[in-house]
Structure 1
Amino acid sequence: METAATIWMVLLIAVAAATALFAVPRRPARAAAPPADPRAGERALAAERAAEVSRRRRADWLRAQERVDAAWAEFDAADRDARRVAAAAAFPILKQRRTRAEIADRTRNLHRMATAACRQRELSIAQLNEALAHRGQWNPRRHPVAQEAALRAAVREHRYAAYRAAAEQERQAWQEAERAAATVRSLRAEVLTVREEAGRDVHYEQQWTPVRPAEARLAVR
């Protein structure tokens, strides 16, 4: 009898242990992550490339700004020189008959000043040609002070044209930098959109009831 009771006790303990084991709640299986959308990777790569282009465009714009500042400084200096020489040339010069030798000397002086200014990039090639051809303000018969005033005025004109060209280049560089930045923002927004769409529970969306699909869609969003 004692042996039978012992066996029954062992069986009861085993049944109780098995019941307790099966009664323990199991963790639900973790849902598998949605497969990665290849479009996100493609757009992310395109966004990285666009960001690199945007950085280069911004660097170009900053360099263009520096060129504008330098061109304005050169124009400002040329303007001061032109005003100073013009003020000196304002004093009346006694008119007297010029000899051929004096006219030839003034002509050489004009050519020499204009050529030196062109070599120093103070005059353009077109302006040098005008000076050598004695057109416009380039009169070889004028006094050297008046010739210097005409030269300084031409240098100021050339510097101002260079400043305007630099300003236009800076404006174009800024527009290109803005377009590149807009492209980066657009691609990054596309990456976020694709990732959000890939992260939706497609299985749940397929189980929408046909009664109120619009309300269910609004609730999910």
Structure 2
Amino acid sequence: MNVVAEMLLTEPTPLVIWGTLLVLTVPAVLLLGNPEVLREPGRALRELFAALRRQKPAGPSPDEAVEAVRFAAEVRVASARADAAAGQWRQRWEDADAQQAADWQAWLDADARLRDSRAAAAFRTLWSVPTCAEYASRERFLHRTVAAAVERGDLPAVALADALAGRGGWDARLHPVEQELVINRAAADYRRRRYEMSAQAEQDAWRDAGAADRAARGLRRTAGEAAARAAELHHLLPAGVFAGSRRSTRLVPAPAM
């Protein structure tokens, strides 16, 4: 160990003196780095310390407080509208779920009638060639039965127009038992398609309701954070600003969906 190191370890006084001189030398070094300092050293020192004060982090300003209150009011309105929209989407899903259940039961009923018609058609007796009166009676039976199926929703409205025109597979020459089998088969197929459509609609409504609920929860969380921030800066608001901002937060009804 050399003499200087031993002196610094055993006698701290020189170390303190050197450290003080070094701290006092830093501003001088910074000032001498600029040629303008040599002409006006006092002004340079004042500018240096002013710059150091400006670099200190400043607290929130009244403008920031006003903006925080305004943002809290806006996000509170948005949160209320999102809650209302989420309620509408939930109601839409509940309606879709109820429609799916109704279409499922209607399909089961139509399928049961189809099974009965198949059993009846298997045991029907053979018939001779219909006369003109019998043919007219079968035609009226077809039109009447198809119209009843359309009225209770087992067939689409276009089915009646096809039956009246004798197209789309409707044959008035068939025996009434066979006509019922054709009608019930078409009704069961129609009810199955209706159920598949309502099941898809229920899934879509469930997904949309979930997305709307998540968006509403996110906005509620943001509104709470914004309200807390506005409360922290409330004391910085200029006089009269907070009262005006409260009047501007009147809720606006959510748009119709």
Q: Give the TM-score taking structure 2 as reference length.
A: 0.58
Q: Deviation per CA, 1:113-144: give whole Å up to 9, x if none.
A: 11222223222112222222222432111111
In 2, Cα distance between equivalents of 1:45 and 1:183: 14
Q: Secondary structure in 2 aligned to 1:137?
A: coil
Q: 129, 145, 159: which one pairs with 1:127?
A: 159
In 1, Cα distance between equivalents of 2:180 and 2:164: 15
Say whether 1:89 aligns with 2:121. yes
> Match of 1:113?
145
Q: Is the 8 A contact 2:142 2:163 kept in 1?
A: yes
> Match of 2:106?
74
Q: Deviation per CA, 1:96-119: give whole Å up to 9, x if none.
A: 222222212111111111122222
Say whether 1:49 aligns with 2:93. no
Q: Which amino acid in the other structure matches residue 157 of structure 1?
A: D
Q: Which portions of structure 1, spanning 4 or more consecutive aligned residues, are displaced by more than 6 angstroms?
A: none
In 2, Cα distance between equivalents of 1:97 and 1:198: 90
Gapped regions of structure 1 (runs ≥ 5): 1-33, 202-221
In 1, Cα distance between equivalents of 2:123 and 2:167: 24
% same residue? 34
Most deviating of 131-140 and 141-150: 131-140
Say whether 1:40 aligns with 2:72. yes
In 1, Cα distance between equivalents of 2:78 and 2:119: 61
Q: Give the TM-score taking structure 1 as reference length.
A: 0.67
Q: Is the 8 A contact 2:124 2:177 kept in 1?
A: no
> Match of 1:146?
178
Number of matched pairs: 168
Q: CA deviation at 1:196?
A: 6.2
Q: Is the 8 A contact 2:139 2:173 kept in 1?
A: yes
Say whether 1:98 aligns with 2:145. no
The alignment yields a C-alpha RMSD, in angstroms, of 2.5
Q: CA deviation at 1:95?
A: 4.6
> Match of 1:205?
none
In 2, Cα distance between equivalents of 1:102 and 1:198: 86
In 2, Cα distance between equivalents of 1:144 and 1:51: 57
